[in-house]
Copies of this chain bind each other. A is one copy, B any other.
Amino acid sequence: MTKKMKKKIMIIHGPNLNLLGTREPEIYGKMSLREINSRLRTLAGKRNVSLKIAQTNSEGSIIDLLHKAASWADGVILNPGAYTHYSWAIYDAINACGLRVIEVHLTNIHAREEFRHRSVIAPACLGQIAGFGWRSYVLALEALLEHE
Residues of B within 8 Å of A81, CB to CB, are 89, 92
B16-A89 in contact (CB<8A)? yes
Contacts of A85 on B, CB cut-off 8 Å? 88
Most chain B CB within 10 A, of A118, A119, A124, A127, is at A127
If over half of A's interface residues share one DSSP class (helix, strand or loop), that class is named, otherwise mixed; here it is helix
A63 to B17 CA separation, bound complex (whole angstroms): 11
Partner of A60, one of B61, B95, B97: B61
Using A19-B70, A81-B89, A108-B122 as known contacts, list a sample of 7 further A-B pairs with CB atoms less than 8 Å apart, ordered by residue number in A. Answer: A16-B93, A24-B95, A82-B88, A108-B126, A135-B147, A139-B142, A139-B143
